[in-house]
């Protein structure tokens, strides 16, 4: 059974912001002649790597709600130039929208069991994304999204 991570998406106000950032970074890497892959750098290295890379995902908390996820492809530990252990969470650059799930702020990342993870919106994603972000936020706060 796969295991997931959950993390705050700092600096993004919406799923669209996250998608734009991903596209921008991938284009930068292509222009620099680097592999066009997306990763997120973290300070702590997960210990349950095989469970995470067995169909696990990184669930993003945006504005107090889990709103989307990206599949975890690989976890690459490394030591930075200051001698600090870190890792790259290599992610599939496709963002899957999920049912909104409220989350309080926390630092770093946390493990998220599959049974506690919000379901994908699937076919409903298009309808939800056509709503203005403020309306989506209000509906989520009321437990209607």
pLDDT of residue 88 exceeding 90, the answer is yes
pTM: 0.85
Q: What are the Cα distances from residue 103, in Å, to 7, 50, 117, 118?
A: 10, 26, 12, 11
pLDDT of residue 128 exceeding 90, the answer is no
At residue 126, the pLDDT reads 64
At residue 139, the pLDDT reads 74
| Gap between the Cα atoms of 70 and 86, Å rounded | 20
Cβ–Cβ < 8 Å for 100, 140: yes
pLDDT of residue 68 exceeding 90, the answer is yes
Mean per-residue pLDDT, 112-127: 83
pLDDT of residue 41 exceeding 70, the answer is yes
At residue 70, the pLDDT reads 98
């Amino acid at each position: 059974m796969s295991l997931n991570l959950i993390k705050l998406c700092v600096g993004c106000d919406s799923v669209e912001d996250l998608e734009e950032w991903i596209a921008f970074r991938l284009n930068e890497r292509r222009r620099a002649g680097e592999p066009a892959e997306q990763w997120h750098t973290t300070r702590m290295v997960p210990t349950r790597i095989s469970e995470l890379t067995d169909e696990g995902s990184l669930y993003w908390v945006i504005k107090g709600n889990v709103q989307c996820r990206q599949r975890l492809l690989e976890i690459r530990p490394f030591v930075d130039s200051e001698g600090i252990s870190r890792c790259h969470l290599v992610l599939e650059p496709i963002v899957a929208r999920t049912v909104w799930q409220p989350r309080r702020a926390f630092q770093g990342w946390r493990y998220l069991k599959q049974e506690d993870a919000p379901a994908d919106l699937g076919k409903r994603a298009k309808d939800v994304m056509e709503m203005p972000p403020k309306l989506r936020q209000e509906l989520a706060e009321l437990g209607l999204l």
